[in-house]
Amino acid sequence: MPVEQVQIAGAVLDVAVPERSYPGVSMAGFRGKTPDPVELQMIPYPASTLFLDFGDALLTDDNNGTQRRGSVVVGLATGTLHGSGRDVDVLQVRLSPVVAHAVLGPGADIGAAVLTLEDLWGRDAERTEERLRATTSWEERFAIVHRVLARQSGAGRAVDREVAFTWSRMVATRGQVRIEQLADEVGWSRQRLWSRFRAQVGLTPKYAARLIRFDHAAHRLAAGHSAATVAADGGFTDQSHLHHDVTAFAGMSTSAVAEALWLVVDPVAWPARIPRT
């Protein structure tokens, strides 16, 4: 089981990732103890996220001040969040909207929400958390979560093939494909694609494309590329457009995003999401 250490906000955390990957699912485990709380800003990105917490993490929604402890589900469209804790022991699961629709329920229900896992799974959530708490092995925890996701997915309802195709094309083109072109490719009207996508993903196609572009731009900025280059290559009309979207999603400037702590763990925890160019 690959485990690496990363230093963030003065704390050293062990980061574990599963040896096997599954389509539309990414998992990483974080563990460490610190004398002072580790605080980390979390920004929207193109996935619904399960935070399965076994430590003392406190998640705060900066938009409304709501605070939650324990295992939560964070939707794609959720605003800026902060997490803090001294006893870090959390398993983070990122689900593409295609997987999340079947596993968690219709995307519209979680698109802009922070919910407890019990809100979505009921008693199944409690039983899952009990099994996860009974072991400290990341390998066993990853296996438990995968079995639960497979069961929930099998019992859930899949998105339309046209919606799944549209999402995959958006990701492949880094949010730079026109909705009219996607509608033509799937053989739907623009209005039908917009409606079905919104109902099943929880975001409009336009917002989803913006989110995907922002995510790619943030990682390129963190990799040292200039704002001018990122804007030119990332589907933005100019640097002002890039700055506007970065501020809207992250609440900070492009230069601040380039040094943001929330991107420090990504090369270890989510290497597949790091832009190569």
- Domain 3-155, CATH class in plain words: mainly beta
Domains 3-155 and 161-273 share a fold: no
* Domain extents in the chain: 3-155, 161-273
CA distances from 123 to 18, 64, 110, 177, 231 (A): 26, 28, 19, 41, 47
Lowest mean pLDDT among 5-19, 97-111, 228-242: 97-111
Whether the predicted model's global pTM rises above the 0.85 cut: yes
Beta bridge partners of 21: none
Q: For residue range 85-115, what is the model confidence (pLDDT) as tens digits? A: 888 899 999 999 999 999 986 544 566 667 8
Name the superfamily (CATH) of residues 161-273.
Answer: Homeodomain-like (1.10.10.60)
Q: Identify the CA nearest to 89 among candidates 132, 54, 140, 135.
A: 54
Q: Rounded to whole angstroms, how far apart are CA atoms 95 and 92?
A: 10
pLDDT tens digits, 174-205:
999 999 999 999 999 999 999 999 989 888 99
Instruction: Give the C-alpha separation, 116 to 118, whole Å.
Output: 5
57, 112, 254, 274 from 37: Cα distances, Å: 9, 27, 26, 27
The values of phi and psi at residue 101, to 5°, are: -60, -45
Tell me the average pLDDT across 214-239. Answer: 94
